[in-house]
Amino acid sequence: MDNHTALLDVGQMAEADRLTMASGTSSIALMENAGSAVAREVQQRWSSRPITVLCGPGNNGGDGFVVARQLAAAGWPVRIALLGTRENQPDAAQHHARCWQGSIVPLTLAVLEGAELIIDALFGAGLSRALTGLPADVLSAVQRNKLPMIAIDVPSGVMGDTGEVLGAVTAVLTVTFFRKKPGHVLLPGRLLCGEVILADIGITTDVFKDIVPTTFENAPSLWLAKLPRPLVSDNKYTRGHALLVGGYPMTGASRMAARAAARAGAGLVTIAVPQIALNIYATALISIMVQPFTTPETFAQILSDARLSALLIGPSAGTTDDTRDKVIAMLRMSLPTLLDADALTAFQHNQLALIESITGPCVLTPHDGEFARLFDASGDKLTRSRAAAKRSGAIIVLKGSDTVIASPDGQAIINSNAPPTLATAGAGDVLGGIILGLLAQGMHPFLAAAAGVWLHAAAASEFGHGLMAEDLPDLLPDVFRRLDELDSHEAAAVGH
């Protein structure tokens, strides 16, 4: 995995600090670098104006003292409001507090009077409980008075490991260090971070010799090298044969998924449909093959085609015994198989039957409601996605604005490029089709799921407002073209 997109939890980030200090960089220097980075970002965005720095009792507060000193040296009118006393702060924070030549006032609501900017240096990711009492009251007043706030690390009250919000308010800018945390990209915490800046404070990638990240922010660098590309020697079968089970009487979802699989690069896409729906599908589709079935035996004959390379069932399939039987029959083929929508809900009263049938490569793409019908829905999104992947043996794609892709081995990727326009009927069916197309071409299921989620969101961003799900497949070629250009530029850079 690409460590440039690694997301470090609070414990891993503390270890990165410790390793850096063990290699010769002092905690005082790290804090100086962190506060200086925040002050620099503030000066790049605002002209000098009255600013109040809210300092907490830990290292986050020490960062705040550095910010205050740097801005005051640049001529800004700065006020520091401290929760607790300097004597109770950690050594590095005490050092920087002593370097502050101005006055320090206790944290009260009065410290906001006259301020035009606020620095939240209260707790950052060091808080592991709900924000209460005076700090919560002061931050609530910041929001109520619509004062722009800059957060150091994460807004105080956002849980760095989970994105849960326990008393935090919205920042317009968050400056964090070395690597983001899961809370910067998971909802609802992401919504409170504003613009997120990743600052270099002197921690090097050498720390990854000891720290092994298992969580990443989705980006092409994670999977671009494995993204299938047509070869001169290819034919339609070597590019992959994808099979979908078409729904009836609702047929649109399956047709969109099929077109998405073809646009994602599958050389051949076939929809297996009930005989009664044959004319509807055959009339509506041109380059997609349609095969009818009437009985379990004729469906089994379709599955027996040795040229098939990936399977999908779910969109408009119905939550019936017949759907369950088809799912189990498909999983027996040991081909990469994607289960979505009705194919998941059909097992809501017999989750074990589904889990026991997953013995080969499999991707499940539930939204929150479908997830809750099959798995334990308590806890944060990252934890429950990982637990479901481990229990099922499948790649879990828990959809949403912060889609989590989790692998049974504990690896997880969080997606952050999805625009709100994807909240439209049928978008999830198209996502399933994109992932199917990548699976059909032999891409590893975990990477295919991550790439599919990113491509799906990038395609939606291409279109903008007014997006309908059926627009998405035809937007993919432009996204692929940009990725090819990116790949070429990276290759040229390496060559030089």
What tokens appear for 275 in the block? 């005989």
Q: Which amino acid is at 325?
A: D
Cα–Cα distance measured from residue 126 to residue 59, given in angstroms and rounded to the nearest whole number = 8
For residue 493, what are the contacts with CB-CB under 8 A and spacing of at least 6? none
Cα–Cα distance measured from residue 5 to residue 166, given in angstroms and rounded to the nearest whole number = 26
Residue by residue, pLDDT tens for the chain (496 residues) are 889 999 999 999 999 999 999 999 999 999 999 999 999 999 999 999 999 999 999 999 999 999 999 999 999 999 999 998 887 788 999 999 999 999 999 999 999 999 999 999 999 997 889 999 999 999 999 999 999 999 999 999 999 999 999 999 999 999 999 999 999 999 999 999 999 999 999 999 999 999 999 999 999 999 999 999 999 998 998 999 999 999 999 999 999 999 999 999 999 999 999 999 999 999 988 899 999 999 999 999 999 999 999 999 999 999 999 999 999 999 999 999 999 999 999 999 999 999 999 999 999 999 999 999 999 999 999 999 999 999 999 999 999 999 999 999 999 999 999 999 999 999 999 999 999 999 999 999 999 999 999 999 999 999 999 999 999 999 999 999 999 998 766 645 444 3
The CATH code for residues 3-214 is 3.40.50.10260
Cα–Cα distance measured from residue 269 to residue 262, given in angstroms and rounded to the nearest whole number = 6
Contact indicator for 426, 256 with CB cutoff of 8 Å: yes
Bond before 57 cis per omega within 30 degrees: no
Fold of 220-495: UDP-N-acetylmuramoyl-L-alanine:D-glutamate ligase (3.40.1190)
Burial class (CB in 10 A: 0-12, 13-18, 19+), 143: middle
Cα–Cα distance measured from residue 241 to residue 311, given in angstroms and rounded to the nearest whole number = 9
3-state helix, strand, coil in the chain (%, to 5): 45, 15, 40
Q: Which amino acid is at 88?
A: N
With H, G, I as helix, E, B as strand and everything else as coil, classify residue 173: strand
Cα–Cα distance measured from residue 74 to residue 224, given in angstroms and rounded to the nearest whole number = 44
- Name the residue ranges covered by the structural domains of the chain: 3-214, 220-495
Distance of CA 461 to the CA centre of its chain: 16
The conformation of residue 244, written as its DSSP 8-state character, comes to E
Contact indicator for 151, 91 with CB cutoff of 8 Å: no
pTM of the model: 0.96
User: Could you tell me the sign of the dihedral formed by the alpha carbons of 12, 188, 171, 138, in that order?
Assistant: negative
CA angle 297, 323, 268 (to 5 degrees): 70
Sheet-wide strand order for 395-398: 215-217, 412-414, 404-406, 395-398, 362-364, 337-339, 310-313, 241-245, 268-274, 289-293
